[in-house]
Amino acid sequence: MAGAMESVKKARMVTRPTTSDFINEIFDDFIEFHGDRYFSEDNAIIGGIASLNGMPVTVIGIEKGHDLASNMQRNFGCPNPEGYRKALRLMKQAEKFKRPVVTFISTAGAFCGVGAEERGQGEAIARNLLEMSRLKTPIISIFTGEGGSGGALALSVADEVWMLENGLFSVLSPEGFASILWRDNDRVEEAADIMKMTARDLMESGVCDRFFEEPEDGLENELESVTEKLKEALVSELPKLNRLSTKRLLQNRYDRFRKFGEFSDSSRYLTDEVAEAVENRSKQQ
């Protein structure tokens, strides 16, 4: 099936360029900063400051590594709470020094482990959603690979979300979806299709604002062809966001996420029993 599963496979390839590759190609003078100042360093997230055509920016991204040794050192790109807290620290620093923030996302999801729970994985993600929603500086998030659920969202409450052609963003993996909702591990491809998790699908739903085609020879072989376009887009877009008043910037960001949801006020789904109960309780008032 040449459906969404193709993108899933490409997004997960070991040879797929990672955040460090994108940073090297797009920015100059990247200086990496470490640590969350509370507990430790998390190698699954890298962050620091760099120059984009002379403009100072804060760059943060999830790093998976390139081979088994670096995969392990990077915890396979699955951040712990301290990674999200380091990211937030760097974003607050960007706000203070009026630098825009660019984040790169490629993760199967936030790490699920005992230590992650002990140190508040839920709280760390929640705090990032809240603080990013009111960060007084522009944020652009770029999905370069997998975008696994809350662990990806925690770095992408942004003014604009861009995706590479084979980037993904979903509430869970297609494997998890098939196993939990259908109890059938053989329906992973069908799950991937129905989940609308690819860049093209997400353009339609408004989750993604812009997508970048990948070379036919594979991203790993012609990375510059994509990074050139990404750089061009950042160079043209960030100044536009910078020119907005803080109030307008934050209102636009609020509206961007406020619009998500499909619901109706009618009672067309109500079963007779529930409809009757609703009717009765409104009479009681």
Partner 1 sequence: MSIFSKFAPIVKKASSKREVKIKPEGSDKKMIQCKTCDNIVEKDAITKYKICPSCGAHFRMNPSERVRVTFDKGTFEEFDGDLLPGNPMNFPDYKDVIRKAQDKAGYNEAVVTGIGQINGSKTVVAIMNSFFMMGSMGSVVGEKITRAFEYATAENLPIIVFSTSGGARMQEGIVSLMQMAKVSEAVGRHDDAGLLFISVLTDPTTGGVTASFAMLGDIILAEPNALIGFAGQRVIQSTIHQKLPAGFQRAEFQLDHGFVDKIVHRKELKNELSKILKLHGYRN
| Binding residues for partner 1 (CB under 8 A) | 110-114, 116-123, 125-127, 129-131, 133-134, 149-150, 153-154, 157, 169-172, 177, 180-181, 194-197, 202, 205, 207, 253-254, 257-258, 260-271, 273-274, 277-278, 281-282, 284-285
Burial label for 265, CB within 10 Å (0-12, 13-18, 19+), is exposed
Q: Count CB-CB contacts under 10 A for residue 240.
A: 11
CA distance to 108, 135, 219, 228, 282, per residue, from 223 (Å): 22, 31, 5, 9, 62
> 144 phi and psi, to 5 degrees?
-100, -20
131 or 220: whose CB is closer to partner 1? 131
Separation CA 129–CA 126 (nearest Å): 5
Calpha distance 27→54 (Å, rounded): 9
Compare residues 29 and 260 and give the one whose CB is closer to partner 1. 260
Nearer to partner 1 by Cβ, of 15 and 251: the residue is 251
As given in the structure block, the two tokens for residue 231 are 């750089």
Enter the tokens of residue 263: 């619901």
In the complex, the smallest distance separating the C-beta of residue 139 from partner 1, rounded to whole angstroms, is: 12
Q: Count of alpha carbons within 13 Å of 267, Cβ hemisphere only?
A: 10
| Shortest reach from residue 160's CB to partner 1, in Å | 14
Partnered with residue 31 across adjacent β-strands are 49
CB nearer to partner 1: pick between 137 and 170 = 170
For residue 141, what are the β-bridge partners?
Answer: 103, 161
Decide whether 236 or 264 has the Cβ nearer to partner 1: 264
| Shortest distance, position 5 Cβ to partner 1, whole Å | 16
Nearer to partner 1, 50 or 197 (CB): 197
Q: Nearer Cβ to partner 1, position 221 or 267?
A: 267
Per the DSSP assignment, residues forming a β-bridge with 61 are 46, 104
Nearer to partner 1, 31 or 269 (CB): 269
Cβ 47 to partner 1 shortest distance, Å: 20
C-beta atoms surrounding 271 within 10 Å: 8
CB of 126 to partner 1, least distance (A): 4
Q: In angstroms, what is the minimal distance from the CB of 83 to partner 1? A: 14
Element housing 145 (H / E)? strand 139-147
Among residues 131, 159, 144, which one has the least CA distance to residue 10? 144
Minimum Å distance from CB 189 to partner 1?
A: 15
**Min CB(176)–partner 1 separation in Å:** 8
| Phi (first) and psi of residue 141, to 5 degrees | -110, 135
